[in-house]
Amino acid sequence: MLVELTVLIATIAGLLLGSCCIYWVKANPSVRQARWGRRLFVATLMSLGAIAFVAAFMRADGLAPIGLLAGLLTVGMLWETPTPTPTPSEPEA
């Protein structure tokens, strides 16, 4: 029971912290805040993996959501947003 609660809390905390890290990196990609966002993101993924490993060893329920969260956070961090292309100005007559 305690392991399932820990996995649930870690999943929710990982979602919030990982989302904040993605925002920090995407909002300001060239400043110091983005560097700390990447480091904290990696630490978040590693802690989610460690908790999932312990939960799998204890045969706890709730491994699917934490695994899906780790995968979706990775996709969210690596997703490239297209840069807007400038529209060609029309020639004046």
Q: pLDDT tens digits for 43-60?
A: 999 999 999 999 999 998
Q: Which domain holds residue 74?
A: 2-78
Entry pTM: 0.80
Instruction: Please give the pLDDT value at position 61.
Output: 85
- Answer whether residue 11 is part of any domain: yes
Q: Is residue 89 part of a domain?
A: no
Give the start-end residues of each E strand in the chain.
none
Q: How many domains does the chain have?
A: 1
Range 66-85 burial, b when 16+ CB lie within 10 A, else e: beebbeebeebbeeeeeeee
Q: Is residue 22 part of a domain?
A: yes
Please check whether residue 91 lies inside any domain of the structure. no
65 to each of 1, 35, 59, 71, 87, how far by Cα in Å? 17, 27, 14, 10, 43
What's the pLDDT at 30?
Answer: 76
Please report whether residue 93 resides in a domain.
Answer: no
Burial class (CB in 10 A: 0-12, 13-18, 19+), 13: middle
